[in-house]
Structure 1
Amino acid sequence: MSLTPVPTTVMWDAAMTAYYFGDYHPMNPSRLDATARLARDLGIFDLPQVDIEIPEVASDRQLELAHSPSFIDAVKRVSEDPTLHLPECGLGTEDTPAYEGIHDASARLAGGSYRAADLILAGKLHIVNFGGGMHHASRDKASGFCVYNDCAVAIARLLEQGVKRVAYIDVDAHHGDGTQSIFWDDPRVMTVSMHETGMTLFPGTGFANEVGPDGLASGTSVNVALPADAGDSGWLRTFNAAVEPLVREFRPETIVSQHGCDSHFRDDMSHLKISVDAQRQVAMMVSALAHELCEDRWIATGGGGYNLYDVVPRSWTHLMAVVAGNPLPVDTPVPGRWQQYMLAKYGTQVPALMGDEVDLWWSNWELGFDPADPVDRTIMATRKEVFPHWGLDPWYD
């Protein structure tokens, strides 16, 4: 990982908060406002290496890189009349309600990641779109709060312009099923998802044996379905044991990562027990891979995260700081100005520190496999399924 400042672009504008499913929906856009305010109050937006760019609404042509024209048309129709019943497009459901203007709001998030891809193609390095990460949307259907899959749009744009290999790394608590499905048979893309097992969590997919179809793309879908009670040590050990060796073997030219922070122990939308400190550490591990393998070409997005004011702003502010090559210590005090803002606007008390005051410890996979440990058994299941496709020995490499 580069420990020096890295030229970084953050995609942000208050218009991104138009992505709105209603006051009581868990994915309230106030989490984006709270994150941007914390990053600003901590000085991340004012770092000399950081530029802020306003994302535009993605055009139909841009969205068609990842979605079918018929799906985009359906979203537009629902956007104009949310009372329409179009079950085939996945909108109007309990998890992804329809609302007026949903096309433009969703396409703006996708536009941020499309622009991120263009910046990479123009020679820029680190890009953050913390309003993106809509990984459940598939080519023809919205799902799980996600309408347009901005990560897929960015990846497809990179491929369209000649990038030969893109690694997609997803550490959201939920399986990145939409992104996996869009690139299922494309050997140029390795999708890696480290998530809570589908036996206990939506969308019920993402098991170790989902490795891609027979042929050139076999082994390019990588899934680690963690036990529901996995904590920091197991989560970080998983990244070291399953994610890092496979991404290194794939040798991507660019990394696109999804940093949903709903794995946190205070987030009610999953059962994982991950701290902000560990989420920060994984961001640093992704940064290290981007530096080692991709000459720092890296697009980082947000994703899930439903503890709106405690977890999300701290996790994604850490992400932005890491991307900028200026990581914040976990014992950094939360600015008093931000505490006052959150109390006045949202009526909530927020943590005093940027970390969770945990003892962050994990053991390298080289120390050996423990068959009595359910996390180790999960890791080994993935290694046995995927490593042979890449000429790696699941027991030793």
Structure 2
Amino acid sequence: MTERPVSASPVSAPPPRFIGSEIYRRSTYGGRHPLAIPRVSTCIDLCRALGWLPDAVYVDSPRATPKQLARFHDPAYIAAVQRAERQQRLSEEEQLRFNLGRNGNPIYAEVFRRPATACGASILAGELLAEPGVIHSPAGGTHHGRADHASGFCYFNDPVLGILAMLDAGLTRIAYLDIDAHHGDGVQDAFHDDPRVFTLSIHEDARWPMKASGPDEAPAAGSVDDRAGGLARNLPVPAGFNDSEMAFLMEEAVLPMIAGFAPEALVLQCGADGLEEDPLSKLSLSNGALWRVVSQVRALAPRLLVLGGGGYNPWSVGRAWAGVWATLNGFPVPERLPAAAEAVLRGLDWRHSKGRNPPDHWFTTLADPPRDGPLRREVRGLAARVTAP
């Protein structure tokens, strides 16, 4: 069998750890919500079918307690999410106050337990990464969550809680890189004035939740001129953003800026909604572009936490995140998947027009073909502007 190697820089022991949970297998946002698909369970099943996930490196995620969540979130909001799970409803006043049961943030059976489990994983990862190491937690990456309300399918903000756990453990320089198709607004705003945390987001220009400049003429949130309190950078990329352009921005802007910050730890939000097959963006990346980012940032800090994030096509997101785990471990990715892994992918169902007649390679391969393309002037300009003093 011909195999395609996935490069990864060597790191000291312990080997990379994977934090997961079975709660995601049976939980769904319901109906035709974009998150009514299996994602974390697909990634876990693929990794196991490929022999990449032995019990020795798999960690079952704890569930964050209300006290742990209150390190960032308003206790009244936490209580409201718990109440929403118990009662499966909230008053209209509470829905408006907490943005629950509306605006894409439904009240569903595990509306507290599921996001609290993702937060428990990131908090545990932050505690474990008091020492050098590498951790993959694909259930994480809920980067829109606000201290006192839900936002953008995100009820709690696990990246913020994971970073806070690292800071509480004594780290003083943490870099956060977000390559989701949507701006990492919740994380940027949480550390707006904290010189210990450098945030950098690559996202689709004019994609939700981009906001226009206010009356004070401050830069629009997520725009290339938005630097928050100073230690934030943003790269809003055009529709059709391709592998060649991602490689250019990484080499010319992202890697130098992160290296210049000299982080003790790096958190990578590796949302898969920038892939060409995803229905919630107009970007055109292959999963190989995401894996190269993972490989490139591996050596930038002695501690690395790789989270999930967006991703709304079950085949593309499951394949992408399994490949992230392969990259972190240096596992070769087979050109053709073995029968057990193919069975995982053939067992998926997606109630979307793109899921009616899925192409055969969604079942039989892990790696997408490269999606190289032209390096456009506006992308070159982004690199120059974001690195300017």
TM bracket, shorter-chain basis: 0.7 to 0.9
SS of the residue corresponding to residue 40 of structure 1 reads helix
Q: Does 1:334 align with 2:337?
A: yes
Q: What is the one-letter code of the residue matched to 2:102?
A: T
2:79 to 70, 73, 89: 73
**Count of aligned positions:** 360
For residues 1-397 of structure 1, what are the structure 2 equivalents within 5 Å? 1-3=8-10, 7-17=15-25, 19-46=27-54, 51-84=57-90, 85=92, 86=94, 87-121=96-130, 123=131, 125-197=133-205, 199-204=206-211, 205-213=221-229, 218=230, 220-289=231-300, 294-295=301-302, 297-309=303-315, 311-324=316-329, 326-329=330-333, 332-344=335-347, 346=349, 350-358=362-370, 373-384=377-388, 388=389
Tell me if structure 2 keeps the 8 A contact 1:175–1:203: yes
The range that moved more, 153-162 or 97-106, is 97-106
What residue number does 2:215 align with? none
SS of the residue corresponding to residue 224 of structure 2 reads coil
SS of the residue corresponding to residue 351 of structure 1 reads helix
CA distance in 2 between counterparts of 1:280 and 1:237 reads 15
CA distance in 2 between counterparts of 1:315 and 1:322 reads 10
CA RMSD in angstroms comes to: 2.2
Give CA deviations for 1:186-242 in whole Å, capped at 9, x if unaligned: 111011101111x244444411121122xxxx2x11111111221111112112222
Q: What is the one-letter code of the residue matched to 1:251?
A: A
SS of the residue corresponding to residue 190 of structure 1 reads strand
SS of the residue corresponding to residue 341 of structure 2 reads helix
> How far 1:74 moved relative to its partner?
1.9
Q: What is the one-letter code of the residue matched to 1:96?
A: N
Give CA deviations for 1:269-309 in whole Å, capped at 9, x if unaligned: 001100011111111112132xxxx22x1111000001112
CA distance in 2 between counterparts of 1:345 and 1:304 reads 18
CA 1:52/1:70 → structure 2, altered by over 3 Å: closer, same or farther?
Answer: same
Tell me if structure 2 keeps the 8 A contact 1:96–1:144: yes
SS of the residue corresponding to residue 298 of structure 1 reads strand
> How far 1:81 moved relative to its partner?
2.2
CA distance in 1 between counterparts of 2:190 and 2:255 reads 23
Q: What is the one-letter code of the residue matched to 1:60?
A: P
Q: Structure 1: 5+ residue runs without aligned partners?
A: 364-371, 389-397
Q: Structure 2: 5+ residue runs without aligned partners?
A: 1-7, 212-220, 351-357
TM (normalized to structure 2)?
0.87
CA distance in 2 between counterparts of 1:332 and 1:46 reads 22
Tell me if structure 1 keeps the 8 A contact 2:285–2:371: no
CA distance in 1 between counterparts of 2:225 and 2:52 reads 41
